[in-house]
Amino acid sequence: MIEKSLNKPNVIFILADDLGYSDIGCFGSEINTPNLDSLGNNGILMTQMYNSARCCPSRASLLSGLTPHQAGVGHMVENLGTHNYQGYLSDNCVTIAECLKDSGYQTFMSGKWHVGGHEDIQDLSKWRPGEKGFPTPKQRGFDKFFGTLTGAGNFYNPPTLMLEDKFIQVESTDFHYTDEISNHAVRMLNEKNSDPFFMYVAFTAPHWPLHAWEEDISKYEGKYRKGWSQTRMDRYEEMRGKVLDPKWKLTKEDPATPDWDGIKNKDWEDLRMATYSAQIEQMDRGIGKIIDKLKSIGEFENTVIMFAADNGGCAEFLAEDTNQPNPNQFNNPGPDGKKVNFGNIPNLRPGPADTFMSYDLPWANLSNTPFRLFKRWVHEGGISTPFVIHWPDKISSHNVVNEPVQFADISPTILDICGSAYPNTYNGNEIIPVEGESFANLLKGQKFSKDKPLCWEHEGNRAVRVGDWKLVSEFPGPWELYNIAEDRSETNNLINKEKEIASDLEKKYGEWAKRCGVLDWPIRVDDESTRKIYSMNKNEVGLDPNITPLEIEEERRYKRKPPNENNITVRGMRYSK
């Protein structure tokens, strides 16, 4: 239960990057996350928190309390020429930091921004941080900032690294971005004054590349030698009755997942997952440093700590802001100047600064246990996140909450518990009314359910949920209908049996999409009739005819098939050669 207090609470929101639903201990993982587990086991586990399926849209919605489209980030960080797809936070939205700053809060950010436009990350001279189209945290309400503007890169030498409002360079060989994100968060706590504070800690772990310290990797080496199928079953059994209803089935493995017995490089596959696990343990250790600092300064009891992930486990590789692999964007050397070996190269040990690998689709399928599909999709595997809330002063006992909520609800919830208002205007701009709904009552042990439907759209993947019913479509396929209370794993499609329910949900989705400015996919944004982000021709951004001949694009992009000697992996998909 929550009791009223005259002292305003501090808030720390911690965001992991590309972490799947089952990737932390208190949600069923074998990965060592003692600090997150302690927060979860002494706080609230929310089992049906939903993100927005991908990095930038989730961050925009989280920070603004709006849908990604309303906040200006309807796709990614490329400016597609319309307000809802401009690729950076709109002037017609207001961030949590801006609201709380006006309420007397100090505001700090450490980590990944990725809602402030985009340029070539290999050429910082093209970036114009702070100018129109390139807002930084300092322009959007944060008093202090350490982190990166872009979405991914070498953990030992991250591109677009900034301190406050200036680009900085890594100058040592013992730098690791995950450690520095937590170190700078601790430093900000050391330097704070007596006012309450809001801190946003946005890790890039465990997003690719697989960069972790060798001593952490060695702890997990050999643990995954049993393969992805058995590990997935083990997690499922651990989750049942805790964060999963026992009647929910374990989905079949993704069709692009090869049989473990036929894998030639088992030790290397084991190492890839071991390195991914090491990235998560390293992040958890950094969270422990923040907790220790809160305790040492007497702020732990009155600090709300929330933890989530921006999307489900990631099956793709080298395609962060694009729809095709683009290694040139990440081709910067490590801090020691060594050339980086790009790609998932069998028998090359992942982890060091001169490697650049991912854990690939089968392990991502494990991360999203028991669900199907991945980051970018709006089936449960793409949008379900573990969610932890810890607040010792007000939450007196552990609880598991199953009420569905989503990222747009987080901002109004934080403003609610901090006693801050959401403005109608800000800096002379009309502010779009908040889309999310405060779920603060859930923290009090009271009932809460959303008045509005939960809706999603990303790259034509669409979904709407009202109560127990969810209508969902994987682009360019038809609608599917599931009763989530009975079948959250989305294994029993009821679209032909419950046509009235499906029709009503489709109507609600259409009303939401129209109100929030969602454009049909593919989006055609012409610049002198040459610039398009998706169309069936060679000018398309995100489709390289040299890799993907047009006549078989649909088969290779949307019909996932196991790998063999005649196909390759692109964007996490198995494509014919």
pTM to 2 decimals? 0.93
203 vs 309: CA distance, rounded Å: 10
> Which two structure tokens, joined as six digits, stand for 429?
């701009």
pLDDT at 550: 34
pLDDT at 312: 98
| Cβ-proximal residues to 16 (8 Å cutoff; 6+ apart), any chain | 203, 205, 206, 280, 283, 307, 308, 309, 310
pLDDT at 3: 41
Closest by CA to 509, choosing from 450, 456, 449, is 456
pLDDT at 566: 56
pLDDT at 99: 98
> Which two structure tokens, joined as six digits, stand for 101?
């700053």
pLDDT at 540: 35
Query: Would strands 10-16 and 399-401 be described as parallel, antiparallel, or unpaired?
Result: unpaired
- Structural element, H or E, at residue 388: strand 384-390
457 vs 475: CA distance, rounded Å: 10
pLDDT at 561: 55
Closest by CA to 117, choosing from 95, 141, 136, is 136
Closest by CA to 71, choosing from 337, 407, 490, 494, is 407
pLDDT at 571: 38
238 vs 242: CA distance, rounded Å: 8
Length of the chain: 577
pLDDT at 557: 42
Residue 391, CB half-sphere, CA atoms under 13 Å: how many? 27
pLDDT at 325: 63
> Which two structure tokens, joined as six digits, stand for 341?
């070996």
Please check whether residue 225 is in contact with residue 231, taking contact to mean a CB–CB distance below 8 angstroms. no
458 vs 378: CA distance, rounded Å: 8
SS3 assignment, position 397? coil
SS3 assignment, position 293? helix
Q: What is the mean pLDDT of each run of 10 residues along the chain (577 residues)?
A: 63 98 98 98 98 98 98 94 94 98 97 95 90 96 98 94 96 95 98 98 98 98 98 98 98 94 96 98 98 98 98 85 66 80 91 94 97 97 98 95 98 98 96 98 93 96 98 95 98 98 98 96 60 33 34 42 51 39
Closest by CA to 281, choosing from 212, 182, 188, is 212
